[in-house]
Amino acid sequence: MERIPLGQNATGKTLLLVTLSLLALGVVMVHSAVASVLEPGRWYSRVDVRHTAFAIVAAGVLFTFWMVDYRRIAGAGSLPPGPTFLLAASLVCGVLVFVPGIGKSVGGYYRWIRVGPSKYAIGFQPSELIKLSLLIFLAAWLSRRSVSQLRSFRRTFLPAAAIIGLCAGLVVTQDFGTAVLIGASATVTMLLAGVPVAHLATFLLPAGAGFHLFVFTDPHRWARITAMADPWSTTNPSAYQPQQSLMAILSGGWFGKGTGCGIRKLGYLPEDSTDFIFANFCEEWGLVGAVLLILLVAIWTLAAYRAASRSQDRFGRLLAGSMGFLISFQAMLHIAVVLVTAPPTGVSLPFVSAGGTALVLMAAAAALIVSVTSRPTKSSLPGQAPPT
């Protein structure tokens, strides 16, 4: 079926416009956050310059990929070839992070692969590709399963759980926040597909064990939990970030200090262009600006929900639903961290925080959701179980 014109696709148009607005806002806020930082090296190594370049690429991806028929991604056969290859490639990249000379350590954690000559090298974060490719694979594979297969613990749940565990396990030691996003989004994808809740409840045991192993027994991560409970502690070094975040929000007042006029970014608030960019935004735009930004995220979330609920094929519903949940949940988690209602997890604000890999891949995810809205059809994909 031919693509619906964008002018007749209110949901898709909303997603495109809100995503583009958030990308533009991100460029402004990243420039504001790093304006007071003198960065050594050539001009193209500056955070704001690189972020602007990646934002332009992300906008190009957004306005190009939405025109691609999302149904072509799944392919034919019981095991989707394209998504399977993409997931395998992302896992290989995730392993390469730990290879000396290839992986790059940032803050003591190996999360990056540097691509290109040393002068012009671009950082690539495999964990971002893993969480996206996993959801695409699950959506394509689960949409092919019949109702009886989806309800089978051995034939559906166990293979899916093994793949999810592999992806989350590869990431969790270096990036706990992304591992949480992977686990939560994959679980929601399985729930949307019709996997019984009783089967999904078995995830609670490994999730609890993972929390104990990687948080409770890790002094650094556990200190972040206690800092959330007592952000004004004078004896816990991990309370410094929550303190500065709250002070930035409180000092913003109703209408903020004005774009570029924030104080906390002057060496007080760590990660002011990435993990805590919402705090910097609140200081400069105030409570009114913060409410408007949250409203933009809410509009985007509602549009993604409508895209998933109105799709007439199972793959479209799962793809739009999983991608929509991933981006919305990540945005809510980022805001919760800044408001000190969740411990610092290193999670960025989608489309807004400084970044390269995440920015482009999130734009691709948004484009896929728009693609779902532009091709409503009642026909099933080759090899796909009929809608239920």
Q: What is the mean pLDDT of residues 116-132?
A: 78
Q: What is the mean pLDDT of residues 118-136?
A: 83
pLDDT band at 104 (very low <50, low <70, confident <90, very high): confident
pLDDT-above-90 percentage for the chain: 54
- Give the separation between CA 96 and CA 113, rounded to whole angstroms: 8
Per the model's pLDDT, the better-predicted residue between 344 and 336 turns out to be 336
The pTM of this model reads 0.91
Radius of gyration (Cα) for the chain, nearest Å?
A: 21
Q: Give the pLDDT of residue 293.
A: 96
Q: What is the mean pLDDT of residues 55-78?
A: 89
Q: Give the pLDDT of residue 73.
A: 87
- Give the separation between CA 342 and CA 335, rounded to whole angstroms: 9
In this structure, the chain runs to a length of 388
Q: What is the mean pLDDT of residues 219-246?
A: 89
Tally Cβ neighbours within 10 Å of residue 100: 6
- Give the separation between CA 262 and CA 284, rounded to whole angstroms: 5
Q: What is the pLDDT of residues 160-206, one digit of tens each?
A: 999 999 999 998 887 888 999 999 999 999 999 999 999 999 999 99
pLDDT band at 106 (very low <50, low <70, confident <90, very high): low
Both tokens assigned to 309: 């609920």
Per the model's pLDDT, the better-predicted residue between 10 and 75 turns out to be 10
- Give the separation between CA 256 and CA 281, rounded to whole angstroms: 9
Enumerate residues 6+ apart whose C-beta is below 8 A from 324.
301, 304, 305, 307, 308, 369
Q: Give the pLDDT of residue 380.
A: 40
Report in angstroms the alpha-carbon separations of 167 from 101, 128, 180. 23, 11, 11
pLDDT band at 383 (very low <50, low <70, confident <90, very high): very low
Weakest-pLDDT range from 68-72, 132-136, 269-273: 269-273
Angle at 154 between CA 150 and CA 159, to 5 degrees: 80
Q: Give the pLDDT of residue 6.
A: 82
Q: Give the pLDDT of residue 268.
A: 85
Q: Is the pLDDT of residue 41 over 90?
A: no
Q: Give the pLDDT of residue 107.
A: 62
Q: Give the pLDDT of residue 172.
A: 86
Enumerate residues 6+ apart whose C-beta is below 8 A from 329.
181, 184, 185
Is 214 within 8 Å of 166 (Cβ atoms)?
no
Q: Give the pLDDT of residue 117.
A: 61
Q: What is the mean pLDDT of residues 220-228?
A: 88
pLDDT-above-70 percentage for the chain: 90
Number of H helices, E strands in the chain: 15, 3
Q: Is the pLDDT of residue 343 over 60?
A: yes
Q: Give the pLDDT of residue 388.
A: 38
Amino acid, res. 26: G
Question: Considering only CA atoms, which of 78, 90, 125 is closest in space to residue 106?
Answer: 125
Per the model's pLDDT, the better-predicted residue between 124 and 323 turns out to be 323
- Give the separation between CA 93 and CA 126, rounded to whole angstroms: 6
Judged by DSSP in three states, 252 sits in helix
Helix axes 314-338, 277-310, angle to 10 degrees: 160
Q: What is the DSSP letter of 41?
A: S
Amino acid, res. 53: A
Is 262 within 8 Å of 284 (Cβ atoms)?
yes
Q: Give the pLDDT of residue 312.
A: 82
Q: What is the mean pLDDT of residues 218-235?
A: 88
Q: Give the pLDDT of residue 375.
A: 81
Most confident of 46-50, 79-83, 220-224, 285-289: 285-289
